[in-house]
Structures are given as C-alpha cells and as structure tokens.
Amino acid sequence: MPHSVRVIPRLDIKGPNLVKGIHLEGLRVLGKPWNFAYKYYLEGADELIYIDAVASLYGRNGLLEIVKKTAEKIFIPLTVGGGVRTLDDIKALLRAGADKVAINTEAVKNPELITLAAKAFGSQCIVASIQSKLIDGKYFVFTDNARESTELDVLTWAKRLVDLGAGELLITSIDQEGTGKGYDLDIISKICEEIPIPVIACGGCGKPEHVSALVKGAAIDAVCASSIFHYKYFSEIAENDNYEAEGNIEFLKSNRGSLEFMKSRLTGMAIKEVKDVLTSSGIPCRTS
C-alpha cells in the first residue's frame, strides 16, 4: 500500500471557464475554475490539476491569470499544463503560483525540454503527461489534447520520460476519459510496475469503487477524477457563478444537455465520500 493515496480533482480549462468533455472532446462549460477549485480545497482535495484545453498561457483570461487567482486562496499543490513549450513558460507558471507543470505535446516534439526543465527547476516540479489510446490492442501516445496521434508506444515512452528527468507521470486514458466506466487498469498497472517515479492515473472515474479497484490493482500514487466532483458541486456553484459569453453553455442552461445526461451515468461524489470509501477498503489517504 502507498503511504497516502492522493485524491486530485482535475479541472480542464478553456478560456476563462471550467469545461468537461467525453474522450477530451465536446467540451461543455461548467463555470469558473477557481470557484470549483476553492470548493475542492475546502472539501479536502490533496492537490489540484489544471489542464488548459486550448493551450493559451498568456493574455487576458489566459491560464496564468487563472493560476494566479487560484493561488491566492488555495493552499494545496497545484499542477498546471496545456501549451507549455519553453523554459520561460514554466518559469511564468511557477511564478504565478503553480507548484508543478505538466508537459505532454512539447515533450513529444522536443524531449530535451523535460531534461532542461528538470535541471532548471528540479524534477519534482516537472510532471510528464501522457495521453494514451488503445488501437488494435496497442497503446499509442496522443498529443494536442487527444487530437494528434503518434507512433509512440505508451510504456516505452513512459520509461523514456523517466530517463529524461520527469519527476512524476500523469497518465490519461483517452478511451475512458469522461465515460465514468472506470480507469484503464491494464496500461496503468503496466506503467506502475516499470516506473520508479510517482504515477497519477486519470480518466474514467465514475464512482469511488473505481478508485479502490485501481489502487488495489496497480502501484498507483495518486488518482485524478473530474466529472464525479464537478457534477456533485455544479448546481451549488453555478448559482453564484457568472458565465462568460463563451463556450457551449446552452446545454447546461436548458437542462437538456450534458448535465442530466451525465448525471444518469455518473454518481456525483464529494471528495470526502471518495476518501471514506478508500479508508473503509483499507487504503490510506489524508483525512486529517
């Protein structure tokens, strides 16, 4: 058993808004990321991950501004990714209050960035991010928020990222993402067996039992979930939130779209409820 499994809400961000899709596509607007983040902080999240779906770091409503606004009120570790291309990007995010930076696409294009970043900022703040998709029985690495395919084998690439100097690995299963059908235990357990750095699993969590099954089946250090938390708190937070005139929010407003649909497939869960299930299945996590 790990010392204490980290439970990490993942917030996908587009422009100024928190969004959620299925298989990382068809993004719907849920509200302001920091309102959700603050709620998760108060409810006992161990860490937070922000991923910018459209990779816009700078400018008004850019990711940097959102990170800064978050870091003013939230005192747990924050990992930020999406569009990180240079050492200056990393420095800007760390200065804005991020503790770690997640790198996916640019690591594939320019693997040396991982090494340079680990040397400049310490490997503890460099999270290598892999998006994995199963095609004909083989796991392939995808980039650009699941839009671009590569020839890279997921397990081989994961090992390479460790050699390059990554401090943690975030593995997202595109096939499972947003489905609520459970984590991709097959590839995650293989990665955990081979890799000496902490692994954060992401994609597919629909109920707390998925988390306990994952922790029992793989030597995992941290688990990410998004839909189950977002849908738990959505109605409460949305009332106090002003939407920007951006994104596909008609779905939510009209009540005919994703929210009800997703609710029929997912059980919205509070972070504490997830941790209670973990604790009662003998899995240690921070409760005090």
The binding site for another protein (CB under 8 A) comprises 1-4, 6, 41, 44, 46, 71-73, 75-77, 94-97, 99, 121-122, 124-125, 167-168, 192-193, 196-198, 219, 221-222, 286-288
Closer to another protein by Cβ: residue 44 or 111? 44
Closer to another protein by Cβ: residue 29 or 93? 93
Integer angstrom CA distances of residue 152 from 16, 82, 96:
33, 20, 33
**Contact at 8 Å (CB) between 84 and 48?**
no
Q: Residue 103 Cβ, how far from another protein at the closest point, in Å? A: 17
**Spatial separation of the C-alpha atoms in residues 116 and 136, rounded to whole Å:** 35
Closer to another protein by Cβ: residue 6 or 230? 6
Integer angstrom CA distances of residue 84 from 47, 56, 91, 104, 179:
20, 9, 10, 8, 27
β-pair partners for 130? 171
Q: Residue 187 Cβ, how far from another protein at the closest point, in Å? A: 17
Q: Residue 46 Cβ, how far from another protein at the closest point, in Å? A: 6
**Spatial separation of the C-alpha atoms in residues 159 and 168, rounded to whole Å:** 12
Q: Residue 155 Cβ, how far from another protein at the closest point, in Å? A: 16
Q: Which residues contact 204 (CB under 8 A, 6 or more apart)?
A: 173, 176, 177, 179, 180, 181, 182, 183, 184, 210
Closer to another protein by Cβ: residue 272 or 286? 286
Q: Residue 231 Cβ, how far from another protein at the closest point, in Å? A: 24
Closer to another protein by Cβ: residue 79 or 172? 79
Closer to another protein by Cβ: residue 192 or 202? 192
Q: Residue 11 Cβ, how far from another protein at the closest point, in Å? A: 17
* 3-state secondary structure at position 1: coil
